[in-house]
């Protein structure tokens, strides 16, 4: 089957900056895919090349089998892109914007579908309002609507939830998930790893223009061995034999890091031996954030990853 997006040996240079250093990536049709990476890793550059907004230095991209340079007209019909920047045309209303965008794709009489998108994105009472008068969140919804006017089989969202309130974020994901169930391939970039974990099947992690991880979320999470155990004890002291395992001391809680699950046995034995009573115990699975931090280079990255941007 034709992949939704096929990137081969993609290099991109901006002057002396190597933005992409030989990216190979295949996204299958129907996937819900996330591109992750710190700022400056090359996510937006990659998306812009897929969308034809940026020219690659070398390498090729196909969208649903169409080369984005040689067959750009077909490739662009297959693709709906929600840009990261909050852009709009201040001369027009929401509905005019959507009618014009349909026209660019050669679609006349697209009213029925436009009404449906407007309805799903909760824009109905803003349809006749000039773009200038909309709040940031509303403008973001219009950008999503614009990307969908031509019913593209592949939808790319570049950080669609940056600076967006909870309600819109949930509504947006509900709609995008529905589109994915209806057969659209969805690719997104986000800094919210919990979003990626909740929504996506597969992720690629980019670092300095290279793909450093590409797998299903389940495999990535399983690749981190062991687990963490969160304990509340009575009396509130950790037996000395367990001290080396402790990673974090929270108020009333000890968090121990175990390399493998079999160490649980040893923990329980030590607690029994010391006469400690377990008041609470949680086994914490590694999550995508942990994998991300590890892959991106550990402690030095941890700090910036902890700040949602």
Interacting residues toward another protein by CB under 8 A: 14, 48, 51-55, 72-74, 76-77, 79, 81, 83, 85, 87-92, 100-108, 146
In angstroms, give the least distance from the CB of 52 to another protein.
Answer: 7
In angstroms, give the least distance from the CB of 139 to another protein.
Answer: 11
- Give the residue carrying structure tokens 């940031």: 136
DSSP tag of 183: T
The SS3 assignment for 302 reads helix
Q: Which is nearer to another protein, 68 or 267 (CB)?
A: 68
Measure Cα distances from 28 to 35, 129, 138 in Å.
14, 38, 31
Q: Which is nearer to another protein, 14 or 261 (CB)?
A: 14
Nearest to 199 by CA among 223, 168, 222, 178: 178
In angstroms, give the least distance from the CB of 125 to another protein.
Answer: 23
DSSP-assigned letters across all residues of 58-127: EEEEEETTEETTTTHHHHHHTEEEE-SS----TTSBHHHHHHHHHHHTT--S-HHHHHHHHHHTT-GGGT
In angstroms, give the least distance from the CB of 63 to another protein.
Answer: 12
In angstroms, give the least distance from the CB of 179 to another protein.
Answer: 18
Cα–Cα distance between 12 and 18 in angstroms, integer?
A: 6
- Give the residue carrying structure tokens 């121990």: 256
Q: Which is nearer to another protein, 4 or 229 (CB)?
A: 4
The CA-to-CA distance between both ends of the chain, in Å, stands at 37
Q: Which is nearer to another protein, 63 or 203 (CB)?
A: 63
Q: Which is nearer to another protein, 77 or 207 (CB)?
A: 77
Q: Which is nearer to another protein, 45 or 161 (CB)?
A: 45
Q: Which is nearer to another protein, 85 or 303 (CB)?
A: 85
Cα–Cα distance between 101 and 273 in angstroms, integer?
A: 71
Angle at 89 between CA 48 and CA 167, to 5 degrees: 75
In angstroms, give the least distance from the CB of 96 to another protein.
Answer: 8
Nearest to 232 by CA among 248, 255, 253: 253
Kindly state the helix (H) or strand (E) to which residue 49 belongs, with its residue range: helix 43-51
In angstroms, give the least distance from the CB of 88 to another protein.
Answer: 6
In angstroms, give the least distance from the CB of 301 to another protein.
Answer: 28
Q: Which is nearer to another protein, 3 or 152 (CB)?
A: 152
How many Cα atoms occupy the beta-carbon half-sphere of 4 within 13 Å?
21
């Amino acid at each position: 089957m034709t992949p939704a997006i096929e990137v081969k040996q993609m290099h991109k240079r901006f002057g002396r900056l190597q933005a992409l250093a030989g990216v190979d990536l295949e996204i299958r049709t129907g996937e819900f895919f996330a591109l992750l990476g710190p700022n400056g890793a090359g996510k937006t550059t990659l998306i812009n090349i897929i969308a034809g907004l940026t020219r690659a230095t070398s390498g090729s991209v196909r969208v649903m089998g169409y080369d984005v340079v040689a067959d750009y007209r077909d490739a662009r019909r297959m693709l709906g892109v929600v840009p990261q920047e909050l852009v709009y045309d201040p001369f027009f209303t929401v509905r005019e914007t959507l009618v014009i965008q349909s026209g660019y794709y050669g679609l006349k009489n697209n009213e029925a579908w436009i009404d449906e998108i407007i309805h799903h994105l909760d824009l109905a009472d803003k349809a006749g309002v000039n773009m200038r008068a909309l709040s940031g969140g509303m403008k973001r919804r219009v950008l999503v609507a614009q990307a969908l006017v031509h019913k593209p089989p592949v939808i790319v969202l570049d950080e669609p939830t940056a600076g967006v309130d909870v309600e819109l974020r949930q509504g947006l994901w509900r709609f995008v998930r529905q589109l994915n169930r209806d057969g659209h391939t969805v690719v997104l970039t986000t800094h919210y790893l919990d979003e990626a974990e909740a929504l996506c099947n597969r992720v690629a992690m980019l670092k300095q223009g290279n793909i450093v991880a590409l797998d299903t979320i389940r495999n990535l999470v399983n690749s981190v061995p062991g687990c963490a155990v969160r304990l509340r004890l009575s009396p509130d002291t950790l037996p000395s034999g367990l001290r080396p395992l402790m990673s974090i001391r929270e108020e009333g809680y000890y968090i121990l890091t175990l390399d493998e699950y079999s160490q649980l046995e040893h923990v329980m034995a030590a607690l029994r031996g010391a006469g400690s009573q377990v008041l609470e115990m949680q086994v914490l699975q590694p999550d995508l954030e942990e994998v991300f931090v590890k892959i991106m280079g550990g402690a030095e990255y941890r700090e910036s990853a902890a700040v949602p941007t």
